[in-house]
Amino acid sequence: MLLLGSLSIVSSQACSESALPSYVLTEQSDLPDMASIQDVDQKKQTFFEFLQPIVAQINEKVQAERAWLKVVEAKIRRGDKLGRWQTNFMSDLADYYKVDEALGSKPFFSALYHRVDTLPTSLVLAQAANESAWGTSRFAVEGNNLFGQWCFSEGCGLVPSERDNSARHEVKKFASIHASVAGYFRNLNTHQEYQPLRQIRSELRYLQIPIDSTFIVWGLEGYSIRGEPYIRELISMIDHNKLQAFDRPAFYAKNDVQVTFD
């Protein structure tokens, strides 16, 4: 239970003090020289051990944002007046997650809960490995881009060698791997193309079922022109590498955060 003023945030799991996330985001070191690692098992272990803490930090940040929204919504429903910083932070979250409903309204919170949510680490690791060729691709090495994310202003990234003459997209350059993972989270949590993933996740939340990567991955058919074969390849990577073992840190609660007044 986390105490915030006169409110209590109650998770579905009891958690010890040592299990509580710090909510402190730090920039990680550079991507290891993955191309120099010849042993396949060592390459995989190095990649996963490097990336997993970054994913955990961002998931903790998202979980904290979601919990904060639950508290603020409860205060509004109770009739409490919000401080200016609380209203400003709500507005910042709305901008970041691309929600344009009236600030503090029921549709506002409904839309944000649909977007401000975690992603299974196993899914993130599988997509990063797949899209970056285990951190060896040109875009990963030169642009810190593990997920093949595009941008559309000249000079924003790296021009793909196979790009059509009529195309204008580039593969985005990020300042760090951490920024790349954060950008991926925002992409999946806001882009209309991935609304199916968010819908599956919301339904699992409603049913109080853990967010399973092999379920929500079916909301990513639009991520690749390969469609269903791409999805099946990600599932195979998750299963073969036993990546769902990474989905069990303390902050992954089975049920959603609930708020009660003391």
pLDDT tens digits, 113-139: 999 999 999 999 999 999 999 999 998
Q: What is the third-level CATH fold of 2-14+37-261?
A: Lysozyme (1.10.530)
The band of 236, judged by pLDDT with boundaries at 50, 70 and 90, is: very high
Burial label for 97, CB within 10 Å (0-12, 13-18, 19+), is: middle
In the predicted model, what is the mean pLDDT of residues 177-183? 94
Do 136 and 89 touch, CB atoms closer than 8 A? no
Do 33 and 141 touch, CB atoms closer than 8 A? no
Residue 261 pLDDT greater than 70, yes or no: no
pLDDT tens digits, 182-199: 999 999 999 999 999 999
Q: What's the distance, CA 113 to chain centroid?
A: 13
In degrees, rounded to 5, the angle at the alpha carbon of residue 196 between the alpha carbons of residues 191 and 200 is 125
Domain residue extents for the chain: 2-14+37-261
Do 155 and 124 touch, CB atoms closer than 8 A? no
The band of 11, judged by pLDDT with boundaries at 50, 70 and 90, is: very low
Say what the pLDDT of residue 255 is. Answer: 57
Backbone angles phi, psi at 169, to 5 degrees: -75, 155
Segment among 8-12, 171-175, 240-244 with least mean pLDDT:
8-12
Backbone angles phi, psi at 150, to 5 degrees: -95, 160
How far is residue 105's CA from residue 164's CA, in Å, rounded to a whole number? 45
Mean pLDDT of the chain: 84
pLDDT tens digits, 36-47: 999 999 999 999
Cα Rg of the chain, angstroms: 19
pLDDT tens digits, 53-63: 999 999 999 99
Say what the pLDDT of residue 154 is. Answer: 78
